[in-house]
């Protein structure tokens, strides 16, 4: 909601003061929790936080007085009232209502919680406003990822984030990029080299990177009852690839609620999986954290795990195939597809109930919603790729070497099925990837290159792009003027975009492979070119599978993989569109002339 102010110069000054105050608040919490011993005495930190609290309160009073409409300001910031009431109750009732807890501790905790909520809400809502300030929202999307990576890398460098020595700059940026881009490639063992604080930072980066910080900002805005302006709605439409502006609010709520439901159900079903495992020593709280961590990592297709061998030790557990696999698939379908499926299923259920209860008006019932062309393509291609990938891995690995998948006592079919599912998106593994035959590795490279579906957390060229390219070949062979799928024609501009995406991915993949072959050539343990290409495809497809190259990467190699992961998460076409957004199309055509191709 846009609020009109009387004095815009004063409003800009208050915005700058709020930004500086928020930065100081974040710095106090970093100093307070990021070091074994705070660099500044606790009393000074608490006084600084109280000062920042008064600055926030004075800023609210000034902005309220400067607002043209006091009613609009109150409606946009109504949530401040219960927050301030709760803060006042905690501060003035600290010595009466909290038992034996020290009053000073209660007051410090209340002030800290208020400041955290204040900064978080303002940051998220501001992200939506920034996305709508310019005419090119993709630049805001890119900037949000870069800021999130740099911030996450800085937090991971804190001494209390690591179990041993603090991370170096390159390792911290690598881990933050891998988590934000939901890739899963690691240079440090997540479960062994990071403390609980570091693991929580990685988990937050996965969640924010998977859904996007702008989406979280939109969720906060909707939960707080703030309506989007037209410019904000258009910006969110571009970022979510929604068809109409009117559905933006519904889709954002669906994304947020659906994510919480899927991840919560997944965590609950994963909780019993940690029983009866010889190496397990965790208590109930860590079991819940482990379940939540892997559920979020699976749904966001991140591939991060708390165990050094991923899921190899748990390859006999049914949750791997009936919980983790569905989470990976659902996360890789794309939110627009899930939204369409939810609408179709809800429409048919409603129609069935009305059909049973209202017999008189059966003929007047509206037609049920149908699957969109996007949904049909995604479901078909995803199913075919899972089946073909499973069969290919079984054929090349089980026929060429019978002990390949049975090496870790994993059923052949289930092991091949899991790798077929996870290779396109997630990056978990139940078998030793380095032990697979070269043919199976090539199959996995192809699956990683294809990736998931548009609008999802997965990378790659996407399933719809593959379908458009294949059907373009079919249309050419059949001498058809248009590309057709499911009795629908595909516009020529979509075909051109699909070809562009594939070519850009091919170029980036080969350039990354070439660069890695140069930087990693002096390694004491040389890897085959296939392993290096496997690493490049895994980074570009934001998958996270590795044949063992990642832990031995040089500093230059890590930087190359960081760039590849960021390109894979954002997409080469998105980056190119951001750079060429202001180019105006030409309004003339040259005469055509026939040429020979093929």
CA angle in degrees (0–180, nearest 5) for 302-304-307: 155
Long-range Cβ contacts of 79-88 (<8 Å, 24+ apart): 79/121, 79/224, 79/225, 83/114, 83/117, 83/118, 86/110, 86/114, 87/111, 87/114
Tokens at 495, concatenated: 């075909």
Q: What is the pLDDT along the chain (598 residues), one digit of tens a residue?
A: 567 778 888 888 888 888 888 888 888 888 888 887 777 788 888 888 888 888 888 888 888 888 888 787 777 777 778 888 888 888 787 777 776 777 778 888 888 888 888 887 777 667 666 655 555 556 777 777 888 899 889 889 988 888 888 888 999 999 999 998 888 888 888 888 898 889 999 998 998 887 766 566 566 555 555 555 555 555 555 555 555 445 666 777 788 888 889 999 999 999 888 765 445 555 677 888 889 999 999 998 888 888 888 888 888 888 888 999 999 999 888 888 888 888 888 888 877 777 777 666 666 666 777 888 889 999 999 999 999 999 998 888 766 554 545 454 444 788 889 999 998 888 888 888 888 888 889 999 999 999 888 877 778 888 989 999 999 999 988 888 888 888 888 888 888 888 888 898 999 999 999 999 888 875 545 678 888 999 999 999 888 888 888 888 888 999 999 999 988 888 766 666 655 555 566 677 778 777 777 6
76: Cβ–Cβ under 8 A, 6 or more apart, which residues? 1, 3, 226
Return d(Cα 295, Cα 401) in angstroms, integer.
33
Residue 222 DSSP SS3: helix
Q: What is the SS3 string spanning 554-586?
A: CHHHHHHHHHHHHHHHHCHHHHHHHHCCCCCCC
DSSP 158: S
What is the pTM for the complete model shown?
A: 0.85
Q: Which residues are CB-contacts of 367 (< 8 A; sequence separation ≥ 6)?
A: none
Three-state secondary structure call for residue 296: helix
User: What angle do the packed helices 8-33 and 42-66 form, to 10 degrees?
Assistant: 160
Report the alpha-carbon angle 469-473-478, nearest 5: 145
Give the Cα separation of 568 and 559 in Å (integer): 14
pLDDT at residue number 466: 92
> Facing residues of 488 across strands?
485
For the chain, the domains span 1-133
Radius of gyration of the chain (CA): 26
Q: How far is CA 516 from the centre of its chain?
A: 26
pLDDT value, residue 278: 47
Reported as type and span, the H/E element at residue 239 is: helix 230-240
Sign (positive or negative) of CA dihedral 572, 574, 578, 584: positive
pLDDT of residue 380: 93
Distance, CA of 336 to CA of 256 (rounded, Å): 13
């Amino acid at each position: 909601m846009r609020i009109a102010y009387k004095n815009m110069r004063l409003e800009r000054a208050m915005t700058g003061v709020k930004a500086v105050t928020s930065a100081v608040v974040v710095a106090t919490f970093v100093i307070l929790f990021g070091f074994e011993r705070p660099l500044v005495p606790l009393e000074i930190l608490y006084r600084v936080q109280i000062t920042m609290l008064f600055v926030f309160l004075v800023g609210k009073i000034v902005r309220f007085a400067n607002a043209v409409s006091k009613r609009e300001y109150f409606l946009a910031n109504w949530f401040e009232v219960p927050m301030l009431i709760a803060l006042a109750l905690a501060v003035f009732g600290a010595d009466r209502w909290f038992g034996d807890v020290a009053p000073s501790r209660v007051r410090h905790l209340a002030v800290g919680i208020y400041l955290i909520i204040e900064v978080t809400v303002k940051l998220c809502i501001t992200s939506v406003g920034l996305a709508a300030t310019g005419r090119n929202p993709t630049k805001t999307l890119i900037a949000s990822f870069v800021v999130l990576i740099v911030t996450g890398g800085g937090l991971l460098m804190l001494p209390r984030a690591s179990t041993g020595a603090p991370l170096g700059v390159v390792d911290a940026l690598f881990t933050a990029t891998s988590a934000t881009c939901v890739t899963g490639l690691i240079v440090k063992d997540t479960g062994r080299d990071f403390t609980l604080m570091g693991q929580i930072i990685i988990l937050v980066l996965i969640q924010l990177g998977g859904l996007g910080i702008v989406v979280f900002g939109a969720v906060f805005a909707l939960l707080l009852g703030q309506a989007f302006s037209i410019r904000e709605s258009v910006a969110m439409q571009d970022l979510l690839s929604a068809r109409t502006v009117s559905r933006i609010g519904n889709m954002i709520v669906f994304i947020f609620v659906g994510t919480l439901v899927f991840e919560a159900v997944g965590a609950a079903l994963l909780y019993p999986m940690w029983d009866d495992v010889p190496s397990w020593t965790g208590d109930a709280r860590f079991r819940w954290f482990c379940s939540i961590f892997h559920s979020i990592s699976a749904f966001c297709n991140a591939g991060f795990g708390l165990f050094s061998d991923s899921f190899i030790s748990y390859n006999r557990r049914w949750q791997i195939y009936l919980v983790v696999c569905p989470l990976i698939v659902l996360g890789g379908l794309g939110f627009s597809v899930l939204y369409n499926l939810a609408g179709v299923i809800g429409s048919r259920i409603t129609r069935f109930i009305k059909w049973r209860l209202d017999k008189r008006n059966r003929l007047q019932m509206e037609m049920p919603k149908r699957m969109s062309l996007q949904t049909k393509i995604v479901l078909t291609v995803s199913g075919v790729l899972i089946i073909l990938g499973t069969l290919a891995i079984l054929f090349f690995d089980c026929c060429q070497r019978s002990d390949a998948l049975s090496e870790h006592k994993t059923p052949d079919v289930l092991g091949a099925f899991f790798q077929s599912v996870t290779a396109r998106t997630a990056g978990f593994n139940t078998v030793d990837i380095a032990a697979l035959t070269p043919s199976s590795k090539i199959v996995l490279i192809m699956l990683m290159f294809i990736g998931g579906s548009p609008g999802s957390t997965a990378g790659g060229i996407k399933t719809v792009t593959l379908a458009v390219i294949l059907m373009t070949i079919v249309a050419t062979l059949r001498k058809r003027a248009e590309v057709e799928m499911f009795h629908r024609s595909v516009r020529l501009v979509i075909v051109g975009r699909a070809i562009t995406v594939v070519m850009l991915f091919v170029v980036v993949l080969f350039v990354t492979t070439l660069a890695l072959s140069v930087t990693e050539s002096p390694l004491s343990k040389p890897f085959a070119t296939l392993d290096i290409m496997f690493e490049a495809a895994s980074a570009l497809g934001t998958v996270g599978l590795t044949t063992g190259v990642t832990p031995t990467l040089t500093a230059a190699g890590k930087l190359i993989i960081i760039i590849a992961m960021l390109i894979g998460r954002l997409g080469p076409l998105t980056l190119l569109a951001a750079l060429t957004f202001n180019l105006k199309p030409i309004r003339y055509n040259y005469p055509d002339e026939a040429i020979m191709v093929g």
